């Protein structure tokens, strides 16, 4: 289990084109997938699209096309987003695929066979936008808590006996305190479950765009599956379920650390409904649900009506791919809400990437090219002073910064803290080069200059390894400039045992992070 890691984005709903929120979730999952691969783990990274439901049916009708044609077109935009943002997903699941329909119907049959589904009639408030049912007590000024319009629905429906799972869920949360993160979301869910659960309507008959339920009696052919029972099953269908002997199912559901990354608006579906469905089907539960916050834009809520939706392709075109990835992960402690500010983005990428990490690499490599014949200098025989020892201690994995410490920070999604530490190391390296002044050492003792430049190259090597999960293309460029072998770029190589070899030839230096300059008219 320790070496298998399964990470999933929510499957994105196809009623609109991708925006910054989708990119944010995908990049966060990509960071975790890349980190775990760099630690030598067996990783499966899943993303995809949620393509059924009344909202999609209405959006397709408004566009004048059939639902399948509509979802084919919009689903492709999310594939394009993954390519644009350099997302390293291993699979892309669509809920209109045969493998998914098979899995969703199998899960239904298992829950039904275990006595947890019954036929009744639903009457209550339903939000088409949220694809969610709401109790009268949850409405705010006649609308859903999310602000979405609700409508009164009455129809025959199959129900899941969710009301019987409250105590089992609370017991599970208590035994698994890290199942829901961050803690604020855990507290929210525990409060919701303690407030009492009602049985959940899990089929609809008033529209047809969905997965038909398995027919067990006359009239069942009119029912389609509730979109959330359908959608949540994607995490299993991508692993080969209902074939519980499938290699992926065994590796990534039965015997893995599995994490679902979601936005805070859908935490209830993932942390209440999904565990209850799985318990009802006698299936293992994921290890963690992590709910992140929302982005506002220049202090305002993002919305199409305000015209302030931030499109990822626009950011990448203007600022660069890795610059965009860096800012998304760096700006906000993951789990909190954040604000997108263009001014702030320019400041971050210039101060941290261009002026700090990029400047360090450029000035060091240029000095090596000019003064060391373009080869890694030799530091042998030069005694390290206190400044050297302090600098080298900070760049390597040590007793104070163990592999387990690093892994815990990643798995707890402390991205902002991790990146802050990397920036600090780069700042210390820039201070080190200024304090040592190798351009002066060249005039007094060339051996000291060589040692200083060697230590700086080692610092850059370690920084480049550390930034790989966040900005992989730029990291590869720096590692190539240092001629680091492709098989020595993992997190296990953050030690002196894999230090650069003196005399190794380096390619001509190139700038990695150009400073962003506003275009003047």
Per-residue pLDDT of 298-348, as tens digits, reads 777 766 556 667 889 999 999 999 999 999 999 988 989 888 899 999 999
Using CA atoms, how far residue 75 sits from 56, 62, 94, in Å, is 12, 17, 8
Q: What is the DSSP string of 381-427?
A: TPPP-HHHHHHHHHHS-BTTB-HHHHHHHHHTT-HHHHHHHHHHHHH
In 3D space, the residue among 484, 462, 297, 226 whose CA is nearest the CA of residue 376 turns out to be: 484
SS3 state of residue 144: coil
**Position 97 in a domain:** yes
> Average pLDDT for residues 65-71, to the nearest whole number?
95
Query: Are 358 and 430 contained in the same domain?
Result: yes
Count of beta carbons in the 10 Å neighbourhood of residue 513: 25
Using CA atoms, how far residue 438 sits from 372, 432, 446, 447, 502, in Å, is 12, 10, 9, 10, 17
Q: What is the DSSP string of 51-118?
A: --SHHHHHHHHHHTS-HHHHHHHHHHHHHHHHHHTT---SEEEETTSHHHHHHHHHHHHHHHHTT-EE
How much is the pTM?
0.93
Per-residue pLDDT of 443-455, as tens digits, reads 999 999 999 999 9
**Position 33 in a domain:** yes
In 3D space, the residue among 375, 380, 300, 293 whose CA is nearest the CA of residue 340 turns out to be: 300
Confidence band, pLDDT 50/70/90 cuts, at residue 213: very high
What's the burial of 492, exposed, middle or buried (CB within 10 Å: 0-12/13-18/19+)?
A: middle
**Position 147 in a domain:** yes
**Position 305 in a domain:** no
Residues with Cβ within 8 Å of residue 173, at least 6 apart in sequence: 179, 180, 186, 189, 190, 193
**Position 397 in a domain:** yes
Q: Which of 273, 293, 313 is the last residue of a domain?
A: 293
Query: Are 348 and 447 contained in the same domain?
Result: yes
Query: Are 282 and 163 contained in the same domain?
Result: yes
Query: Are 288 and 350 contained in the same domain?
Result: no
Question: How far apart, in whole angstroms, are the C-alpha atoms of residue 97 and residue 231?
Answer: 12
Query: Are 24 and 160 contained in the same domain?
Result: yes
pLDDT of residue 297: 83
Question: How far apart, in whole angstroms, are the C-alpha atoms of residue 308 and residue 306?
Answer: 5
Q: Which residues pair with 91 in a beta bridge?
A: 46
Give the CATH number for residue 207: 3.40.50.620
Query: Are 286 and 356 contained in the same domain?
Result: no
Tokens 């074939």 belong to 243
Query: Are 356 and 452 contained in the same domain?
Result: yes
SS3 state of residue 430: helix
Confidence band, pLDDT 50/70/90 cuts, at residue 129: confident
Residues with Cβ within 8 Å of residue 341, at least 6 apart in sequence: 298, 299
Q: In what order do the strands lie in the sheet with 338-340?
A: 300-301, 295-297, 338-340
Query: Are 197 and 51 contained in the same domain?
Result: yes
**Position 452 in a domain:** yes
Query: Are 378 and 453 contained in the same domain?
Result: yes
Give the CATH number for residue 398: 1.10.730.10
Confidence band, pLDDT 50/70/90 cuts, at residue 361: very high
Query: Are 281 and 349 contained in the same domain?
Result: no
Query: Are 277 and 142 contained in the same domain?
Result: yes
386, two tokens: 């206190």
Residue 509 host element (H or E): none
**Position 326 in a domain:** no
Q: Find which of 1-10, 60-69, 293-302, 392-401 is predicted with most confidence, using mean pLDDT.
A: 60-69
CB 509 within 8 A of CB 360: no
pLDDT of residue 126: 87
Total tally of structural domains belonging to the chain: 2
Query: Are 376 and 263 contained in the same domain?
Result: no
pLDDT of residue 84: 97
pLDDT of residue 302: 67
Domain that holds residue 110: 4-293
Question: How far apart, in whole angstroms, are the C-alpha atoms of residue 49 and residue 38?
Answer: 27
**Position 337 in a domain:** no
Count of beta carbons in the 10 Å neighbourhood of residue 376: 22
> Average pLDDT for residues 45-54, to the nearest whole number?
96
For 106-129, letters b (16+ CB in 10 Å) and e give bbbbbbbeeebbeeeebeebbbbb
């Amino acid at each position: 289990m320790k070496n298998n890691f399964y990470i999933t984005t929510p499957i994105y709903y196809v009623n609109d084109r991708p925006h910054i929120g989708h990119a944010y979730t995908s990049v966060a999952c990509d960071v975790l997938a890349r980190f775990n691969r760099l630690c030598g783990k067996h990783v499966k990274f899943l993303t995809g699209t949620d393509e059924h439901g009344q909202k999609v049916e209405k959006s397709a009708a408004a566009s004048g096309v059939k639902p399948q044609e509509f979802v084919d077109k919009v689903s492709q935009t999310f594939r394009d987003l993954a390519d644009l943002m350099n997302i390293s997903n291993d699979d892309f699941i669509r809920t209109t695929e045969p493998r998914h329909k098979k899995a969703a119907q199998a899960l239904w049959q298992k829950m039904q066979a275990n006595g947890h589904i019954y036929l009744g009639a639903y009457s209550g408030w339903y939000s088409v936008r949220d694809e969610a049912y709401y109790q009268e007590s949850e409405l705010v000024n006649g609308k859903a808590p999310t602000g979405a319009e609700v409508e009164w629905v009455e129809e025959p429906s199959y129900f899941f006996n969710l009301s019987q799972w409250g105590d089992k869920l609370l017991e599970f949360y208590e035994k698994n305190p890290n199942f829901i993160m961050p803690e604020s979301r855990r507290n929210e869910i525990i409060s919701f479950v303690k407030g009492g659960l009602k049985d959940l309507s899990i089929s609809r008959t008033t529209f047809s765009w969905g997965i038909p339920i398995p027919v067990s009696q006359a009239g069942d052919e009119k029912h389609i599956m509730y979109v959330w029972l359908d959608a949540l099953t994607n995490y299993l269908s991508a692993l080969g379920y209902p074939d519980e002997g499938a290699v992926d199912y065994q590796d990534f559901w039965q015997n893995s650390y599995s994490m679902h990354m979601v936005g805070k608006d859908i935490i209830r579906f993932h942390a209440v409904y999904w565990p209850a469905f799985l318990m009802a089907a006698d299936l293992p539960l994921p290890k963690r649900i992590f709910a992140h916050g929302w982005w506002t834009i220049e202090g305002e809520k993002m919305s199409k009506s305000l015209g302030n939706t931030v499109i990822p392709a626009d950011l990448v075109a203007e600022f660069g791919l890795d610059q965009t990835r860096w800012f998304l992960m760096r700006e906000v402690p993951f789990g909190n809400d954040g604000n997108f500010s263009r001014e702030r983005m320019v400041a971050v990428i210039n101060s941290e990437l261009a002026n700090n990490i990029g400047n360090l690499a450029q000035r060091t490599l240029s000095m090596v090219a000019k003064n060391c014949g373009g080869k890694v200098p030799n530091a042998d025989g030069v005694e390290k002073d206190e400044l050297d020892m302090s600098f080298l201690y900070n760049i390597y994995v040590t007793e104070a910064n163990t592999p387990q410490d690093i892994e815990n920070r990643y798995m707890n999604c402390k991205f902002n803290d991790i990146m802050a530490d990397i920036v600090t190391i780069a700042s210390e390296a820039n201070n080190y080069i200024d304090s040592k002044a190798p351009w002066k050492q060249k005039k007094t003792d060339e051996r000291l200059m060589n040692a200083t430049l060697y230590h700086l190259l080692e610092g850059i090597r370690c920084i480049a390894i550390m930034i790989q999960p966040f900005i992989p293309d730029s990291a590869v460029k720096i590692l190539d400039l240092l001629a680091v072998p492709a098989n020595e770029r993992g997190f296990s190589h953050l030690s002196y045992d894999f230090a650069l070899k003196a005399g190794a030839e380096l390619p001509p230096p190139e700038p990695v992070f150009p400073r962003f300059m506003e275009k003047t008219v």
